[in-house]
Amino acid sequence: MKPTLLALALALTASASAQNASLKGEVTVWSWNVAAKALQSVVPAFNKQYPGVKVNVVDLGHDAVFERGLSGCAAGGADLPDIYTLENQVAEMFWSRFPGCFTDLNTLGADRLAKNFAAFKWTELMADGKRYAMPWDTGPVVVFYRRDLYKQAGIDPAKIQTWDDFISAGKQMNTRLGGKVKLATTGAGVDDDWFRSLAIQNGCNFFSASGPVKVTVNQPGCVQALDVIKRMYDSGIATQADWNAAITQFKAGKVASFLYGGWYEGIVRTNAPDQKGLWGVYTMPAFKKGGARASNSGGSALAIPAGSKNKAAAFAFMQFALARPSSQVTMMKSAGLLPSSPAAARDPYVNQKQEFWGNQAIWKTVLGTLPGIPAYRSTPYWSDAHNIMIVVMSDYVKGKYKTAQAALDDAAKKISAATGVPTAQ
């Protein structure tokens, strides 16, 4: 480097350091569970560059963050934090109902960071050209399983290629282990996460993925997904549980498999540290041999409420935590949150064997499904559809509908009535 260029580089570095040092204030972040732990893990490195900014990450719990966000926006932005965590699936609902509640991050420089993230992650975070949140994690769906329980039942996960194979394996587990351990648990009655994961895998969702929004929950891909879930219950291979009960189940070894986004890695590892080496991961079964074995569940973002008194510091922390591959890798290591940054996904850590997971390079398996995830969109009406589908799914599992088609035709009718969105023909 020529002396003049070296001097310029040093001057720019010194200028940036001075700007970082001059940024002061306190930033409050609302988040939950593993997400809060992940953000806390990058605060020390952030403070080395921004010593004058104090970051308070508050773990309110998932439901409390959502409900307080809604009430705060409804009250004109009152009592909201400097940084708000939200899931992609509810993002468009916030932008449409409360268009003035959050800051357009383009005014702070987010447009210059757009290329740092996978393009699909921006879809639900933008409205009318404005970027209301910055992408955080993704949720590629995989099966987390107990190696020891599968082995006791004589099940080889490599041979589970389809959902029919999965159901057959569950029957075998019931026989070999006397029904004391179930192959799977779903949230039937309290959540519809299994349905959404299988539907998206099968190219279907509550609403159309592109074009004018239409209700598509009763299309063939969704019908087939709901039918698979019913067959799991009818064959006796599945139980049901809410979020906390599922954690109790895997800690007690009562259930051998959990279908979740890759972020569930941190839930298992932090709640059952004594089970190190007993767990593994495999890609979700397909609906038919050679079919798609990928889906997405969850994924979140960070937004800055319009009423924040320290937007510059808040954006500095968001940029440090989310737009730097090294920070995303730190959060993946500490809490299992999977990056939205393609550069982070190429980090050597992805190919490393993980001791807790039986020395399996699980991140290679999980992130390897990203290219196969079908496109989908939640729309502003996700919450209405979600609440209706929880009831319909529970009723169908209990036998209140004769067929999956009848159940989803009813769901489509109710969703259309609740949202005003027409049903696709």
pTM of the predicted protein model: 0.79
To 5 degrees, how large is the angle CA 383–CA 387–CA 392?
Answer: 140
Both tokens assigned to 154: 């004589």
Q: Is the pLDDT of residue 336 over 90?
A: no
What does the alpha-carbon distance between residue 389 and residue 408 come to, in Å, rounded to a whole number? 8
Average pLDDT, the chain: 92
DSSP 373: P
Greater model confidence, 73 or 124: 73
Q: Is the pLDDT of residue 37 over 50?
A: yes
Model confidence band, residue 287 (pLDDT cutoffs 50, 70, 90): very high
φ and ψ of 206, to 5 deg: -55, -45
Q: Is the pLDDT of residue 16 over 60?
A: no
Mode of pairing for the β-strands spanning 279-283 and 141-146:
antiparallel
Residue 112 is predicted with a pLDDT of: 95
Tell me, yes or no, if the two domains 22-139+298-346 and 141-297+355-419 fold the same way: yes
Q: Is the pLDDT of residue 226 over 70?
A: yes
* DSSP H stretches of helix in 153-219: 163-176, 193-201
CATH fold for domain 22-139+298-346: D-Maltodextrin-Binding Protein; domain 2 (3.40.190)
Span 282-309, average pLDDT: 95
Per-residue pLDDT tens over the stretch 208-225: 988 889 999 999 999 999
Q: Is the pLDDT of residue 6 over 70?
A: no
Q: Which CATH class is domain 141-297+355-419?
A: alpha beta
Q: Domain-by-domain residue ranges, the chain?
A: 22-139+298-346, 141-297+355-419
φ and ψ of 185, to 5 deg: -135, 140
To 5 degrees, how large is the angle CA 369–CA 162–CA 176?
Answer: 115
Per-residue pLDDT tens over the stretch 41-56: 999 999 999 999 999 9
| Most confident of the ranges 15-19, 39-43, 183-187 | 39-43
What does the alpha-carbon distance between residue 138 and residue 261 come to, in Å, rounded to a whole number? 8
Q: Which of 115-129, 241-255, 401-415 has the lowest mean pLDDT?
A: 115-129
Please name the residue that has the structure tokens 């997971």.
Answer: 357
Three-state secondary structure string covering 96-110: HHCCCCECCHHHHCH
